[in-house]
Amino acid sequence: MNHVVPKFSNEEIAGIVKTHYGLDGQVSSFVSYEDQNALIKTEKGKYVLKISNQVWAQNFVEMQTDVLIHLAEKAPGLTLPSVIKTKDGQTMIKVDGFNVRLLSFLEGELLTNVKRTPALYRDIGRFLGQFSKGMDGYDHVGRDGSDPYWKLDNVLACREFLTEVIDEDARDRVGRLLDYYEENILPRLKHFRKAIIHGDANEQNFLISPDEPEKIAGLIDFGEMQYGCQINELAISMAYCLLDEDDIDTAMENMIAGYEAEFPLIEQEREVLVHLIAMRLVTNITNTSHAYKMQPDNDYILVAQGPAKTLLKRLEDENYIMN
């Protein structure tokens, strides 16, 4: 399938929403990496229209909708977008060859803009633990459809982009980490619990309510869902939540405690967790280096790379990893 980024105008998006959902509203665009997302403001409320890049398989996009329906039943305590059906009851439609979906809009401030506290870190862990519990046993034919280079279990594939990491110190560290992971961590993962995970529960996708600044108000963007080691859910989230964090120990302790209160880890998962955090940083650094080379005008691609390099160096210098 071709890698085709949707580029619908606001007028075209308004027409889609009117024709298929019977909604009139004001359209404004969100920044997006590979897909196209638009906010729709109507008298009935706010919605998000999601138009998927043609690179994604049909069943993978379908899973992103199906999982919201599943979790609404299995984990009703979690605040997640709701699926809005078309006038004739469809959860997804095709428009000019693109898969289109409409979801409810979740209010809240992005976690990246909110002051972190131990209580907030613990609630992030709590949310992820409930999410993992809700996903336990869930399966879907589209589970392998996300970008293989962003799958944490497939991190060794990122060696392909190692030479594109411009920073020499970071490039050397990433190379050593990949070697260490292959020899010491990867062989231990084959017996770990597997599940479909959100795969991108980061500081750009967690929402916080101003009224309850120490609680998660929602999680968005299911476009990186992947099947793999279930512990990756926590590792990926921690990798991003620790960016620019001064007190790594307190943050990690509280996220882990919140997670385990809902979904206990096994000892083998706990032993490799910090190394998996590091490998998510490796994934980010290598993939964004490659993506920016392909799209040098899209600065959004590099939003987390600088802090990721800094955190990775710190994890090594302070003996959290490779010791």
Domain CATH for 121 = 3.90.1200.10
Question: Which of the listed residues 82, 105, 128 is the one where a domain comes to its end?
Answer: 105
Predicted pLDDT of residue 2: 61
156 and 241 housed in the same domain: yes
Overall number of domains in the chain: 2
222 and 118 housed in the same domain: yes
Query: Maximum distance among all alpha carbons in the chain?
Result: 59
Indicate whether 99 belongs to any domain: yes
- Cβ 131 vs Cβ 219: under 8 Å: yes
295 Cβ neighbours under 8 A, 6+ residues apart? 301
Q: What is the pLDDT of residues 230-256, one digit of tens each?
A: 999 999 999 999 999 999 999 999 999
Query: Residue 37 pairs with which residues in a beta bridge?
Result: 50
134 and 234 housed in the same domain: yes
Which CATH number is 64's domain given?
3.30.200.20
**Whether pLDDT at 223 is above 50:** yes
**Whether pLDDT at 1 is above 50:** no
- The burial of 104, by beta-carbon neighbours within 10 Å (0-12 exposed, 13-18 middle, 19 or more buried), is given as middle
Query: Quick one: average pLDDT of 296-313?
Result: 89
Q: Mean pLDDT, the chain, as a whole number? A: 95
75 and 88 housed in the same domain: yes
Predicted pLDDT of residue 235: 98
Indicate whether 183 belongs to any domain: yes
- 138 confidence band (pLDDT: 50, 70, 90): very high
**Whether pLDDT at 21 is above 90:** yes
Please provide residue 157's backbone torsions phi and psi, each rounded to the nearest 5 degrees: -65, -20
Query: Quick one: average pLDDT of 83-108?
Result: 97
Predicted pLDDT of residue 259: 98
CA 129, distance to chain mean position in Å, is: 15
Give CA–CA dist 160/164, Å, rounded. Answer: 9
Closest CA to 133 of 81, 214, 76: 76
89 and 161 housed in the same domain: no
50 and 197 housed in the same domain: no
Q: What is the pLDDT of residues 31-68, one digit of tens each?
A: 776 899 999 999 999 999 999 999 999 999 999 999 99
Indicate whether 3 belongs to any domain: no
Predicted pLDDT of residue 323: 74
Per the structure block, which two tokens stand in for 223? Answer: 């476009």
Question: Which of the listed residues 105, 131, 159 is the one where a domain comes to its end?
Answer: 105
Range of the domain at 134: 110-317
Which residue did the predictor score with more confidence, 40 or 1?
40
Indicate whether 5 belongs to any domain: no
- Cβ 92 vs Cβ 62: under 8 Å: yes
- Give the position of tokens 């512990």: 231
90 and 130 housed in the same domain: no
199 and 64 housed in the same domain: no
- Helix (H) or strand (E) holding 172, with range, is helix 168-180
**Whether pLDDT at 69 is above 60:** yes
40 and 93 housed in the same domain: yes
**Whether pLDDT at 3 is above 90:** no
Q: Structure pTM?
A: 0.94
Question: Which of the listed residues 70, 105, 140 is the one where a domain comes to its end?
Answer: 105
Q: What is the pLDDT of residues 158-187, one digit of tens each?
A: 999 999 999 999 999 999 999 999 999 999
**Whether pLDDT at 215 is above 60:** yes
87 and 117 housed in the same domain: no
